[in-house]
Structure 1
Amino acid sequence: MSRNYLLNDAIISPLGFGTDENLRAIRNSESALKFHDNSKFFEDGYYAGLIETEFIDEKFNALGDPSLYTKLEKLLILAISQVMEQSSIVDLSTTGLIISTTKGNIDELGKNKFPSDRIYLWKMANVVAEFFDFQQKPIVVSNACISGALAIKTANDLISTGRFENAIVAGGDLVSEFVLSGFNSFQAISPVPCRPFSKDRQGVSLGEAGAAILIGPANSYTKEKVEYIDSFTSNDANHISGPSRTGEGLYQSIFRLLKNNKINSSEIDYLSAHGTATVYNDEMESIAFHRAGLESVPVNSFKGYYGHTLGTSALIESILTKHSLLNKELIASHNFTESGVSKDLNVIRKNDNKNLKLALKTASGFGGCNLAMLLKKESL
């Protein structure tokens, strides 16, 4: 079986229109989370990472007519376009398109600006695929907040079975009224920028972004590359929105992943956590990591930089994990103050340089879904 790699990528977020711009921002401890007072759900305003539509349209003008596409479709197209520009060898007749999202074009509900079927995830995906003339129908992965990482797993599996020669995984979600009202109903939105794993955390902050990455065999000219090793998923079947108090689902994902690949927890150099800054998620993760013997591994959450970007979050964080491996750098967990979980974790407090080879990326989501993914740096 051929090995697949995380190749060219793009992140479109409030921190920049491209991965390099995003990396520079987070290295400088910049955050997309800003105060907004234009919501009917929050009398005193809220913090989120939002991208101005006018800015997106300005960038999109180089590609096409912005009025023909929704905000989310434009984010996806912009991200995929950057990957395509970096990947001149991509053959669209043999390349798959896999899109991860949780809510798609839900922000268009009731606006009547576009045909009503654009609300459907499959239609949104078709619109994006047709923009580039992908020859095969796009695949949508929508499994709560593990969607972005699950889409990478799906791409690897379909390439490995011969469905595609390679695949572009793209993800996107927006901070819509629908999403804001949903999280508000849980009383889960933090009144300040989120503080993952911190004692003074008060809840989640939301964000919006688009991202894309090429998955497939690496060419021989790549001196250093990041290999996709494997992923395991598990559902704790605990509650529609609350994770297992024992961390069972996430633990099982990690345990099976390490066992199947004959890897000891001591071999993991870096752990990119889900880290939403909600009371139950952070606690669940700390327990699962402790049970898996990962309490000493350097760990961070990128939510303090971007907020929770839902179906894009695990994709963005996988891309950033890839670059952490390649650049030999550990990025501080933004806004972390003092540990607020029952099991001690080695939370990264400041940026550091360290030779990294093997990384573990985890994600968890509503409905009890969990995923653990192994990524490995290879050098020629």
Structure 2
Amino acid sequence: MEREMGGSMIACIADNIISPMGLTTEENFSSVSKGMNMLRNHEDTFGLPEAFCASMLDRELISGLFADHALSDNEYTFFEKLCILSATDAISSCALQAECEDVIFVISTTKGNVDMLETEPDCPGCRLAFSAEKIARYFGNSNTPVVTSNACVSGVCAQIAAIRLLLGEKYRYAVVIGCDVLSRFIISGFQSFKALSPEPCRPFDKERKGLNLGEAAGTMILENIGGTNVYGNGSLWEFAACSNHNDANHISGPSRTGEGAFRVLKDILEKIDRDDIAFVNLHGTATPYNDEMESIALHRSGLEDLPANGFKGYFGHTLGAAGIIETILSMKAVETGVIPATKGYGTKGTTYGISASSATRETYRNTFIKILSGFGGSNAGIAYRRRNVPPCATFRKGGEA
């Protein structure tokens, strides 16, 4: 995507994450900082004969939160509840009037209410557009929402779609929500691929056995703030660059040469300052081929020695939420001056080096890159820059130069 922005600046002004690790962004980032995860073995779940390791939300807790909002528990599915609760927190934090005409809702999900197909194959609720309409209308917004459903890259694609809409100046704000919940259909599908690890996953590690799945919802509120240099509370996250490529390699397997991911990184690197990149947040699913492909893409991009990390060892693979929550967590990491550890990583398990670490590291840089790769050869990436300090400036903790 060409960055022909004119005088426009697209900024992230609010966010939220709901996962088994916490109900707010702050709670989730704190849990990551403490090295926690909620990946557990689940037996006799969804009527499946085989146990699986995943991070799953408490259904009763979410229903209780809905009761606190005086919402009808039967009117919305579990997926829709999570989207609404996450968006409510983010919208409240910036006092956005979500019903206004200059607000557009963008929903990222790979499966939505796919579990309803088992009992109600013709019901409207199975359609992603139907759920997106319900979510937007809950907030009184009458605009037709946008849905992105492009395998694992959906969360980054949703951000890119929102940014394009904002640059078109039809809307000033975009409420970007990413969410997926687990079901018999989803778990059994990944089991059929033999892709699931029976224990907490180990991204990029020599002994990795596959991925874990996870449930989460995340919301980013993006604003076209024009060319202003007013950074709110001293900090502003500005969109810097993005790219999509599909290498059309295989229905489920990534390119063995990392072609699509390499092209995404190449596009992004043309538009940002390499010397200001704190880290690359990778997809890091802990499957043999994905991790290997990402190592090749980093090597081809000349980023082999740049710090990198992955969040799947904390949350599992959260599907349509991954691109949203991992972008938000990367923002919080840079704000805190850290590169979060890659939980589960120990010994290099890829042909080329990935500068991942099992320990938290410090950083004083202000830009990060988030990349994802998914089924069908899809690849997407996005970069954000923190604009409360000059690019490449070196600051110590506490603000002392």
Displacement, 1:45?
Answer: 1.6
Displacement, 1:152?
Answer: 0.7
* Partner Cα distance (1:248, 1:318) in 2: 22
* Partner Cα distance (2:288, 2:295) in 1: 11
* Partner Cα distance (1:144, 1:44) in 2: 24
User: TM-score normalised to the size of structure 1?
Assistant: 0.95
Give the counterpart letter for 2:79 in structure 1.
L
Residue 345 of structure 2 aligns with which residue? 336
Give the counterpart letter for 1:110 in structure 2.
E
Residue 98 of structure 1 aligns with which residue? 106
Residue 246 of structure 1 aligns with which residue? 257
SS in 2 for 1:269: strand
Residue 166 of structure 1 aligns with which residue? 173
Among 67, 79, 85, the alignment partner of 2:86 is 79
Instruction: Give runs of aligned pairs for residues 100-119 of structure 1, distance below 5 A.
Output: 100-112=108-120, 116-119=123-126
The answer to whether the Cα contact below 8 Å between 1:265 and 1:292 also exists between their aligned partners in 2 is no
Displacement, 1:46?
Answer: 1.4
| Change over 3 Å in CA distance of 1:249–1:217 after alignment to 2 | same
Q: Is 1:139 aligned to residue 146 of structure 2?
A: yes
- Which stretches in structure 1 are left out of the alignment for 5+ residues? none
Q: Is 1:26 aligned to residue 32 of structure 2?
A: yes
* Partner Cα distance (1:292, 1:266) in 2: 14
* Partner Cα distance (2:290, 2:126) in 1: 30
Question: Which string of whole-angstrom CA distances, capped at 9 and with x for unpartnered residues, describes residues 130-185 of structure 1?
Answer: 11111211110111111101111111110001121110100110111111111111
The answer to whether the Cα contact below 8 Å between 1:330 and 1:348 also exists between their aligned partners in 2 is no
SS in 2 for 1:69: coil
SS in 2 for 1:347: coil
* Partner Cα distance (2:152, 2:46) in 1: 25
- Which stretches in structure 2 are left out of the alignment for 5+ residues? 1-5, 390-401
Residue 193 of structure 1 aligns with which residue? 200
* Partner Cα distance (1:295, 1:6) in 2: 29
* Partner Cα distance (2:274, 2:353) in 1: 16
Give the counterpart letter for 1:60 in structure 2.
F
Give the counterpart letter for 1:23 in structure 2.
F
Displacement, 1:42?
Answer: 6.0
* Partner Cα distance (2:377, 2:13) in 1: 30
SS in 1 for 2:358: coil
Give the length in aligned residue pairs: 377
User: TM-score normalised to the size of structure 2?
Assistant: 0.91
* Partner Cα distance (2:47, 2:343) in 1: 26
Displacement, 1:220?
Answer: 4.3
Could you tell me the percent identity over the aligned residues?
A: 36
Displacement, 1:89?
Answer: 3.9
| Change over 3 Å in CA distance of 1:324–1:211 after alignment to 2 | same
